[in-house]
Amino acid sequence: MESERFNTGLEIRKDVLGAEYVEKALENADDFSRDFQKLVTEYCWGEIWGDDTLSRRDRSLINLAMLAALGRMEEFELHFRGSFGNGVSEDELKATLTQIAVYCGIPAGISSFRVAKKVLDERKAGEK
């Protein structure tokens, strides 16, 4: 039986990252990684994202800045995709990525804009 925090985290995680992505991550968990998936769902998503002190929009922008600063572009892409569902506009994303470039360095900005272009191009292609 899962905790209330896990269930809250699972709902938020699916809402932000997409149910298909989250379900695949959980289904692919094995004996080695299952506890880690539970930890991520319960604490990252249930405890942190489940705290309504900050909006999901604000959490998205904070995560993008931190992930870019750390050079974690795979996670950056995932959170960039999720930011739209959290109410972040393209203009706000562009301003955030520009601030990342200034405060984290031009290479971080270049990588961030590169990922952003890929996601934005995919979104535009999906609208056609």
Mean pLDDT of 99-127: 96
Read off the tokens for 19: 């149910």
Residue 111 near residue 102, CB atoms below 8 Å: no
- Which domains does the chain possess? 1-53 (no CATH), 55-128 (1.20.1290.10)
Euclidean distance between CA atoms 96 and 122, whole angstroms: 20
Residue 96 near residue 65, CB atoms below 8 Å: yes
- Predicted structure pTM score: 0.91
Interacting residues of 9 by C-beta distance below 8 A, sequence separation 6+: 41, 42, 43, 44, 45, 46, 47, 49, 50
pLDDT tens profile 91-102: 999 999 999 999
Q: Between 28 and 2, whose confidence is greater?
A: 28
pLDDT tens profile 27-80: 999 999 999 999 999 999 999 999 999 999 999 999 999 999 999 999 999 999
